[in-house]
Structure 1
Amino acid sequence: MSIQIENVTVAFQKGVKALDDISFTIPSGVYGLLGENGAGKTTLMRVLATLLGPDSGEVRMNDLLYRERNYPSIQKKIGYLPQELSLYPNLTVRECLEYLGAMSGIAEGECRKRIDYYLEKTSLEEHQKKKMKQLSGGMKRRVGLVQALLNEPEFLIVDEPTTGLDPEERIRIRNLLVEFAVGRTVLFSTHVVEDLAAACSQLSVLKKGKMLYSGSVSELLKLADGHAWICKTEEEQQVRLLEQKYHVSSKQILEDGMTIRVISPVKPEVPCSPAKVTLEDAYIYVSNF
């Protein structure tokens, strides 16, 4: 399955464009959507989940055009984990998932099997008898992910699925999404670059509703190659100069001074050496140059 987005624009009050004439294709597998808060990621996902119609442009799921008359057919193929999800606070985890499975028309026996499988995959087995209102924010995100997976959708849309999770659980969720994406399409939206570096080979970068980049991770890294630098200094004045003139992505204090990682199209005016480009470096580069 592939999703084609063609010249899509969504405008809100006072002419502010949440999405500004964006075009790209989401192929099968895990596809990353990267951008800061307010970039337009959530608006795009709401369009793709049929919750919001674009003001102009078209979206297609394979050859099926996003139009209201086609929404019932499209919705059967979609699973969606929104950024904010309100589930039933007085139901237990299992009761909540069983109810949502029944609402989706999943046969009772099959629903139980899927719930058992995904509770194990998301480390929620021991919490299944807890009421939803007793769960931490990270646990609620995992229950939300399970509900999105229950109908085994052809197109899974997940908005910040690893929010509130510890490092080990983030890895488990990323791996689950990669496994699930075999033969399917998963749109993985986040502002955490590390998650996409571990899960995706292709992605898009949004900023203030504009599409800055769409393509492979390897090509994005090439764009930033030669523009990451490691600078070492003992002088506070040089640190301030670097922060004023360049994009500093990290600082590390050492016994004999400080190392500063700088993203710049030109070599900084302090002693420095080229650094191997990371996906975070490439994201900062395309977002600012």
Structure 2
Amino acid sequence: RKYIPLTTLPHGKFEVYDSPLSEYGVLGFEYGFAMADPKSLVMWEAQFGDFANGAQIMIDQFIAAGEVKWLRANGLVLLLPHGYEGQGPEHSSARLERFLQLCANDNIQVCNITTPANYFHVLRRQMLRPFRKPMVIMTPKSLLRHPLAKSSAEEFMGDHHFMRIKSDMTEIDDKKIKRLVLCSGKVAYDLMQRRDEAELKDVSIVRIEQLYPFPGEPLAVRLERMTNLEEIVWCQEEPKNNGAWFFVDRLIEEAATNAGKDGMRPTYAGREVAASPATGFASRHQVQQEALVNIALGLNSPDKN
């Protein structure tokens, strides 16, 4: 006998469909479904985020600009597997930079979430709000099995809510922090593991879980508490011309200025510019990944890579 727990919830209906392999057609259908029934949580998951470009017309013309052009709100959620895991150029990037380039006037939400509880709460927030906005979530597949990507039962209940910024898993006194590494997505776990291996006591790693609208105010509050901060680093897995770097650069600088740290700008730690999103060689991927993590933590200089 088939049993689906989600269907037993009061006033709830859970449906999963294996759709045709047409990103353009299916995303258009889901957009229409979400518009027709704003009380349904409608989620479209790409096989890999890389393949979302087959639906670029729907993203550009409808999802990003539909509310401004036609005054029609929509709460569609896009789940786009995104993360550099050595799977090659066709299975690594959901083209995060393209979605961030579309962001303006609070038209969409762009998230890159690292914990189960935060993922739960952002979906819950999507339906509890009295308005609807499309949401794009980067969903690294490796976090499904990562030992650190876990949440306690308590984090799903009570007063817990979606955190636009996630603190370091290791508690460090704000006054002892000299280097702050900001990042988004699964690279945070690589940074934390390497930092702990190297026994760095003055490096804090903070995750930006929501890239747009950018959480500038809470970031400024955190920066203000770090009275001995010397350097801010933005670390990403993507090449420099991809990912969030060119989007967050000035926003981080603005937050630092608002925190009383005039003239402090973030430095970049990540892959160099590239025409292809990722290398096709797993061994080269690993070398690049280790190098960008070490650079972000100040364990070696960029000149040595």
Same fold (TM over 0.5): no
Q: RCO greater where, 1 or 2, for CA within 8 Å and sep 6 or more?
A: 1
Bigger strand fraction:
1
TM-score for both structures, normalised by structure 1: 0.31
